[in-house]
Homo-oligomer: A and B are copies of this chain.
Amino acid sequence: MTTRDTGTEQLIKNTAKHLFFAEGKLHATTQEIADAAGVNRTLVNYYFRSRDSLFDQVFNEAQEALLITLDEVIESDMPFKQKIENLISVFLKESMQYPYRELFIITEMNRKDVIDSKKARAKKVNAFLKQIEFEMDKGTIKKMNPRHFTLNLFSLMAYPLVTAPLNKILFGMNDDEYSELLEERKKLIFETIFP
């Protein structure tokens, strides 16, 4: 079966990701995905066999993409401050494109009680935590549980993106105004983390 590669398989998958991660349509049906992709719904079954299978694939790729991004940034051997600056830059850029990706991962995990338990992951994270502790000892950043530092960092980056629709209403801002606000945060987060 030498595939002819019409790009349809990728198109469907990318459209699904766009609906899930960018638009936050977390329960899109196969019909909605097919419509958004401009293809016949049966092609979803032709290329992915079943809806669940497509979801699983998207879920796994989302998880992997997220982890790879984090790994690349975390494991690089830049100086600490620069590393964090890079992390903010990379993560914020990806999150602005796919604000709901983490959310999708979370809700899928809740839906089917997935447990990853990759030991390799914990090891990498621990190395990062160690590095943070080292910087705290040096006095670069305030002393605390390094997990808190990490949580703070990601909270400040991700939450305003996830809650954008609600915040726009509460703050009475339109899309452009809110985008500008988000743009400002890049510098602000860095300054909040490094007082």
Contacts and interface: CB of A to CB of B under 8 A. Distances in A.
Interface stretch (A4-12, A44-52, A77-85, A99-107): A99-107
Given A159-B154, A165-B109, A144 B23 contact: no
A192 to B, nearest CB: 7
Given A122-B172, A160-B155, A165-B106, A181 B148 contact: yes
| Interface range on chain A (Cβ under 8 Å from partner) | 35 or more
Given A27-B26, A163-B106, A121 B169 contact: yes
Interface stretch (A35-43, A110-118, A131-139): A110-118
Q: How many monomers of this chain does the complex have? A: 2
Contacts of A145: 181, 184
Interface string A137-160: 000000011011001101110111
Interface of A: 23-27, 102-103, 105-107, 109-111, 115-118, 121-122, 125-126, 144-145, 147-148, 151-152, 154-156, 158-160, 162-163, 165-167, 169-172, 181, 184-185, 188, 192, 195
25 contacts: A23-B110, A25-B110, A25-B111, A27-B27, A27-B111, A102-B163, A105-B166, A106-B163, A109-B166, A110-B165, A118-B169, A121-B169, A122-B170, A125-B171, A126-B172, A145-B181, A148-B181, A148-B184, A151-B159, A151-B160, A152-B156, A155-B155, A155-B160, A156-B156, A158-B159
